Amino acid sequence: MDNYPGRPEPYRWVIVIAGIFGLFASLGIGRFALGMLLPAMAESLQLSYSQMGVIGTLNFCGYLGAVLFCGRLIKRFGARTLIAAALLLVGGSMILIGFAGHFILITILYFLTGVGSALANVPIMALIAAWFDPSVRGRATGMVVIGNGLGIIMAGYLVPIFNASDQGWRLSWLVLGVSAVCTAGICWLLIRNKPAATTGSKVQVKAQENNPAGSGKEVGSKVFAHCALIYFLFGFTYVIYVTFFVTSLVQERFLSEHDAGLLWSWVGLLSLGSGPIFGYLSDRFSRKAALTGVFCIQALAYASATAYLPDIFLYLSIFCFGIVAWSIPSIMAALIGDLAGPERTTAIFGFVTFIFGIGQISGPYGAGLLAQVSGGFSLSFLGAAVLALVAAVLSARLPGKGSRIQE
């Protein structure tokens, strides 16, 4: 037993490992692989820019709708069962896309992938608040989002190889879908719903000692809306980048699919440290300082992605986005856990994730329409950069350390 204050018992890190697998399947390949798959799908199915945007948008619609029911489903079935079932839905729908041949059917199936992504992601992130006390919560959530980067690395290397085979992009969907199904089994074996499920756990006591209900500066519940707005802007901007960056490399910078995939893999590789590093910084300094810095770096990444700039800015964009890629979800989950406490985190994180989902719906659809009119994605990337700066300003106005939402 680990009796040192602020340090987790061993099984809590098993939950983190399970979370990494869960996000690898639900978001890493369930969502972020789409950018690698779109160019080949668009060529095969003769999809327009706006149709490509609709595929991404329907996925986020499924995500958004499912977030509304996460709290109730967790109470009824428990996080372990819900996460495993959600990952089965992610994998099954992706496998079926591999056999689909019509735009409408693909959008419906990818809508279901979005449903599964939400029903896995929200419970995984909320589990961290129950298992970790505030002093290490940012690092724990930061480690979980490593799964996103691992999914991007896998897609970046394997999708071009599969796309070059006789089955093309269909084989990519099949392999990725089977991977998600296998991950569902891993999560079922490893996840426990709460610390009490293991012998002698003291995590809840430690959490209360580190942040008792009455401690810290009280802030009004309007901070919910403040956090939700920041998360909305993140959802709106980052999804433009992850959905269309590879497509812009292929169609505007005329890179081969193989070369574009390698560059996208570098995003995944760089992103592996984004959650742990900025999670630690948010623990060490403050959530608002970490969020402000991350949004400024993301703004530079989006602006540097425009096709009007020399290639050196392309590499700057990849570097800047990669090093902060998944830090915001981990910091936001830790922030909500700090302000709301373990008991209320699932409901509140579900609310801000719902608003975040609205941003995800708006982002790819708006970027696709703008690209249809302008003939490229440069204006979309510039718009994302401006909104990221707005998010940085809003982040700087968040409550400081030691604050807690009024009951």
**200: pLDDT strictly greater than 60:** no
pLDDT bracket for residue 105 (50, 70, 90): very high
Burial 132-160 (b: 16+ CB within 10 A, else e): bbbbbbbbbbbbbbbbbbbbbbbbbbbbb
Q: Mind listing the pLDDT tens digit for each residue in 280-337? A: 999 999 999 999 999 999 999 999 999 888 989 999 999 999 999 889 988 998 899 8
How high is the pLDDT of residue 211? 44
Six token digits for residue 281? 């910084």
Six token digits for residue 149? 């980067």
Per-residue pLDDT, averaged over 125-150, amounts to: 86
Q: Which residues does 344 contact at the CB level (< 8 Å), separation at least 6?
A: none
Q: Are 152 and 246 in contact (CB under 8 A)?
A: no
Q: Are 215 and 404 in contact (CB under 8 A)?
A: yes
Which residue, among 184, 220, 240, 241, has the nearest Cα to 22 in the 3D structure?
Answer: 184
How high is the pLDDT of residue 56? 82
Question: The whole model's pTM is what?
Answer: 0.78
Six token digits for residue 58? 């329907």
Q: Which residues does 242 contact at the CB level (< 8 Å), separation at least 6?
A: 31, 32, 34, 35
Q: Mind listing the pLDDT tens digit for each residue in 236-293? A: 999 899 888 988 998 888 888 888 888 988 988 898 899 899 999 999 999 999 999 9
Q: Give the Cα separation of 203 and 188 in Å (integer).
A: 22
CA 399 to chain centre: 24
How high is the pLDDT of residue 196? 59
Per-residue pLDDT, averaged over 206-226, amounts to: 56
**363: pLDDT strictly greater than 90:** no
What is the domain partition of the chain in residue ranges?
A: 10-194+221-398
Q: Which helix (H) or strand (E) holds 217?
A: strand 217-219
Q: Which residue has the higher pLDDT, 252 or 164?
A: 252
pLDDT bracket for residue 184 (50, 70, 90): very high
Which residue, among 304, 240, 253, 251, has the nearest Cα to 56 in the 3D structure?
Answer: 240
How high is the pLDDT of residue 235? 93
Count the helix, strand and coil residues of the chain and give each as a percent rounded to the nearest 5. Answer: 80, 0, 20
Per-residue pLDDT, averaged over 175-190, amounts to: 96
How high is the pLDDT of residue 36? 84
How high is the pLDDT of residue 21? 96
Q: Give the Cα separation of 31 and 113 in Å (integer).
A: 8
Q: Mind listing the pLDDT tens digit for each residue in 217-233? A: 444 578 889 999 999 99
Q: Give the Cα separation of 374 and 47 in Å (integer).
A: 17
pLDDT bracket for residue 170 (50, 70, 90): very high
Q: Give the Cα separation of 370 and 375 in Å (integer).
A: 8
**354: pLDDT strictly greater than 60:** yes
**208: pLDDT strictly greater than 80:** no
At residue 403, φ and ψ (nearest 5 deg) are -85, 155
Length of the chain, in residues: 407
CA 160 to chain centre: 23
**199: pLDDT strictly greater than 70:** no
Q: Mind listing the pLDDT tens digit for each residue in 74-96? A: 889 999 999 999 999 999 999 99
Determine the Cα angle at 192 with ends 188 and 194, to 5°: 150
Q: Give the Cα separation of 87 and 121 in Å (integer).
A: 10
Six token digits for residue 161? 């190889």
pLDDT bracket for residue 346 (50, 70, 90): confident
Q: Are 124 and 184 in contact (CB under 8 A)?
A: no
How high is the pLDDT of residue 330? 87
Domain 10-194+221-398 has CATH 1.20.1250.20: yes
